[in-house]
Amino acid sequence: MADEPQLDNVPEATVVRRKRLRFSVIWIIPVLAAAVAIGLAIQRARSEGPVITITLKSAGGIEAGKTFIKYKDVRIGLVTAVELSEDFSKVVVKAKIAKHSAGLMVEDAKFWVVQPRISLEGISGLNTLLSGNYIGFQAGKSLEEQSAFTGLDEPPTVLDQPGRRFVLKARNLGSLGVGDPVYYRGILVGQVAAYNLVAEGKSVEITIFVDSPYDKYVTAETRFWNASGIDISVGADGVDIRTESLAALVAGGMAFDSPDYLPPAEPAAANTAFPLYRNRAIAMKQPDPIERRFVLYFNESVRGLSVGAPVTLYGLRVGEVAEVGLHYDAAKHTFRPRVLVTFFPDQVVGRMTAKQQVTNGKELTTYSKEARLSLLRQNVEERGLRGQLKTGSYLTGELYVAFEYFPDAPKPKLDWSRDPLELPVVAGGFANIEAKLSSILTKVDNMPLNAIGTEVKDALASLNQTLKEADKLVRNVDAQLVPEGTKTLEEMRRAMSSADRVLKNTDATLFGKDSPAPQDLRDTLQEVTRAARSVRILVDYLERHPEMLIRGKTEEKP
Amino acid sequence: MTATAATAAQAGLMSCEACQMLSRPAEPGHPAYCRRCGEELEFRHHGSIQKTWALIIAAAICYVPANLLPVMNTSRLGTSEADTILQGVEFLYASGSWPLALVVLIASVMIPIGKLIALGYLLVTVQRGSVTSNHERTRLYRLVEIIGRWSMLDVFVVTFTVAMVQLQPLMSVAPGPGVLFFAAVVVLTMLAAEIFDPRLIWDSAYPHQNGHG
């Protein structure tokens, strides 16, 4: 089959001469591929940022490869792994940070999980409903680089905004929470940033952040108070309801202000500590540096007199009740209510005119003890200064202590060397009324009502008799006087007709043709007509300008 | 068939790859064309081994980014997700459709690498002049050639999805850089299989009369 002649018949191929390359051009392909691949790898390696670990309490909604780390809504990293910590108590999230953001990974950078949050202050993180949770990031100021972080449980409330932090010290947190509003005159100016127990666990430190420019209103004299819920205080001053806003009412919050009576002060430095008062009234109360204490022993019920109730002088507040208790009189084996009052001389001075404050105020507050004592003694013994319990509110029965002058009061016997000094009292207010009422009632009680009743009965009987007699009398008059009366009337008629005649005569004489009377009368009548016209004009004018009666006639404007 | 002329090349003849016509080389060592159909005639593909090596090396290089880079970027309501082939497989498997995961894994991951390995193996055995299991190696080559185009399944799926899923604000799909490399792998391996001359497998079986290769 494979014979030579047959092979000879196979035609010859056409020849094309061409120089052969030792290496095929095709090697360009792998070189190119390698170049592209290496280029990509280098680019990737160069864009690769650091890998950080974030320790979180739980990995709610965090998925490796899907959850981003966002800073100002820009993705700066991607979670690459979510693992449990070695002791299984926490979640360790590993994340790859973009190269351009590597510089942000400093010591005080903050991470937290952003998830939808609905609170009274608003709804936040709604975008996570669609995009899934992400890890929020807040840049720090430190220059120390770090790769392991601990995530925050809650988003930091204060995000890189100008303003200042202040520390408030309170006995307890109340209903405050992180993110709760801080109000200044009803304007939302900041929020609660954090809170923690102080080391001994006896009080709470609340860090608040007041946004700029409102932070300048926080001065050394600023008072902070808890504005959570409604502040209803019922006292002898009446019922006082205050709330900063509806949100604060429901969710809590705090407010601050500076008392008006203090001169404006310099803005406080950041992180200044302030006390947090329970409510506005307490916070804004003037500090009373000088206080004098007196004790009053009443002889009536002090029910309704509470600590803090006002002490007034002529109705103006000059102090407050410091203590309400009982006093046991060993000699008489009796109890009496004991009321300790605090008197603030500054408040008395504050009530005086500015001029007097300068001239006399200083003296009054700086008097020596003896001078004060003699002044007081003079007031008490000669002018009759007495303490009295008065009802501040009949609705609540709150009492207060009023000092007033009773010049007729008997001179008290007091021990002027005691401390606190005892001041005399008089039964007051309601108790006084009660005493009067009871004395009236006693008098009413003592009236010989039965005797009076009998006498009245007798009187009524005799009155009845009298009336009967009067009746009789009237009948007699009827019988005897009526005929007489008729006669008299007839005579009267006669007299009248004669008078008529006389008048007619007079008429003729007076209004006769030649008599001067008609002329006079006409003149008079004309005068009267004129007068009447004037009156009409006056009345017209008055109608149009009733104010004339008050202001007088004014020039009519054209 | 005689022992002296087991291959056309050994008989000093060239067979046309297109029309199978045998030609006598007019001037050995230079390219020639089939007189009947004009196809270029060669005893063996010129530089077949070298070119195949070049192509499979290029394919192997491309195989790395093809698997590391995302092939598809899915944007769903603001969230964008970039998936590599293996992540897609993982997702399919995790979501319960393991047969589909298997299909994708085989078509997109195993077959390209299988082709590269098979071609590499063929090249190495041919270069070492292996004489064993020639039939198996030829069958392997045919398998590589037939199976090659099916690897484009992935590329097809991606292009199809990108074209179909364009619900702009709600959802959109964009091709990732990985798909380019993946297509490059497929194309390069197909070319490599094309350029590899299976006749070389048999040359070593009859080593005594060579000199044209």
Residue A1 has pLDDT above 50, yes or no: no
Query: How near does any CA of chain A get to the CA of B164, in Å?
Result: 23
Q: What is the pLDDT of residue A31?
A: 87
Counting every residue written for chain A, the total comes to 558
| B71 & B18 share domain | no
CATH of residue B59's domain is 1.20.140
In a domain, B213, yes or no: no
- Would you place residue A467 in the very low, low, confident or very high pLDDT band (cuts 50, 70, 90)? very high
In order, the DSSP letters of A218-267 are: -BTT-EEEE--S-EEEEETTEEEEE-S-HHHHHH--EEEE--TTSPP-PB
**Residue B31 to residue A40, Cβ atoms within 8 A:** no
| B86 & B111 share domain | yes
Q: How far is it, in rounded angstroms, from Cα A152 to Cα A140?
A: 14
More confident residue, B198 or A537: A537
In a domain, B208, yes or no: no
Backbone angles phi, psi at A385, to 5 degrees: -70, 125
**Residue B55 to residue A17, Cβ atoms within 8 A:** no
| B38 & B60 share domain | no
Residue B9 domain boundaries? 1-43
Q: What is the pLDDT of residue B143?
A: 87
Mean pLDDT of B4-31: 70
**Residue A17 to residue B30, Cβ atoms within 8 A:** yes
State chain A's mean pLDDT as an integer: 80
Decide: B196 and B52 in contact? Cβ < 8 Å.
Answer: yes
| B8 & B52 share domain | no
Say which residues have a Cβ less than 8 Å from residue A48's Cβ, sequence separation at least 6. Answer: A96, A99
| B38 & B56 share domain | no
Facing residue for A15 by CB, picked from B27, B69, B78: B27
| B73 & B2 share domain | no
ipTM of the complex: 0.74
Say which residues have a Cβ less than 8 Å from residue B92's Cβ, sequence separation at least 6. Answer: B98, B100, B101, B104
**Residue B32 to residue A37, Cβ atoms within 8 A:** no
Determine if residue A90 is left, alpha or beta; phi over 0 gives left, psi from -120 to 50 gives alpha, anything else beta: beta
Strand order across the beta sheet in which A292-297 lies = A421-423, A292-297, A334-343, A316-329, A310-313, A398-405, A385-393, A425-426
In a domain, B103, yes or no: yes
| B18 & B57 share domain | no
Say which residues have a Cβ less than 8 Å from residue A157's Cβ, sequence separation at least 6. Answer: A178, A179, A191, A192, A193, A209
| B39 & B60 share domain | no
E strands within A243-381?
254-257, 273-277, 292-297, 310-313, 316-329, 334-343
Question: Minimal Cα distance from A33: which residue of B?
Answer: B58
In a domain, B39, yes or no: yes
Task: Say how many domains are in chain B.
Answer: 2
How many angstroms separate the first and last alpha carbons of chain B?
21
Strand order across the beta sheet in which A148-150 lies = A110-114, A134-138, A68-71, A74-84, A91-98, A48-56, A148-150
Would you call B25 an interface residue with chain A, using a CB distance cutoff of 8 Å? yes
Residue B56: alpha-carbon gap to chain centroid: 8
Collect all residues of chain B within an 8 Å Cβ-Cβ radius of residue A30. 54-55, 57-58, 61
Facing residue for B22 by CB, picked from A10, A33, A37: A10
- pLDDT one-digit tens code per residue, A468-519: 999 988 888 877 777 778 888 889 999 999 988 888 887 777 666 666 667 7
- Would you place residue A17 in the very low, low, confident or very high pLDDT band (cuts 50, 70, 90)? low
Mean pLDDT of A448-464: 88
Collect all residues of chain A within an 8 Å Cβ-Cβ radius of residue B13. 7, 10
| B125 & B166 share domain | yes
| B102 & B188 share domain | yes
Q: What is the pLDDT of residue A89?
A: 87
Of B156, B134, B128, B148, the residue nearest B195 (C-alpha): B148
* 3 state SS of A389: strand
| B91 & B178 share domain | yes
Q: What is the pLDDT of residue A120?
A: 59
Looking at residue A209, the DSSP 8-state letter turns out to be E
| B163 & B81 share domain | yes
β-bridge partners, A150: A55
Of A81, A78, A84, A85, the residue nearest A132 (C-alpha): A78
Q: What is the pLDDT of residue A81?
A: 85
Of B141, B55, B72, B138, the residue nearest B108 (C-alpha): B72
Of A126, A71, A122, the residue nearest A100 (C-alpha): A71
